Amino acid sequence: MAPLPATTAQLRVLHQSFSNRLLEGEVTAGGFRWTFCWAFDRGELSVEPSLGRALIQDALLRFLLRADYQLEPGGDYAFTVRARF
């Protein structure tokens, strides 16, 4: 059986605001770079630019939900996306 495709995504938290309930940052994977804004009180995630957004959005949201309280501004994190970019 062939191994599942995987790409490692690198995430950097740029800004966090508990009063506005927002987390902003950037994520790179497979030559793509996106910025994101996550309204964690509503569970809403916006990812820009739209080019390649479908590749990262679901995996990014799962990571953010799982690592929520461990993320800090200036922090660098990595997670695996089950796709090859």
Q: Give the domain range for residue 46.
A: 7-81
Establish if 77 belongs to a structural domain.
yes
Which amino acid, residue 64?
L
pLDDT at 12: 98
Note the pLDDT tens digit of each residue in 52-77: 999 899 999 999 999 988 999 999 99
Establish if 50 belongs to a structural domain.
yes
Establish if 75 belongs to a structural domain.
yes
Bigger pLDDT: 83 vs 27: 27
pLDDT at 7 over 90: yes
The total number of structural domains in the chain stands at: 1
pLDDT at 4: 83
The overall pTM is greater than 0.85 = yes
Q: Is the dihedral of CA 40, 45, 49, 55 positive or negative?
A: positive
pLDDT at 1: 75
The answer to whether 19 and 29 have CB atoms below 8 angstroms apart is no
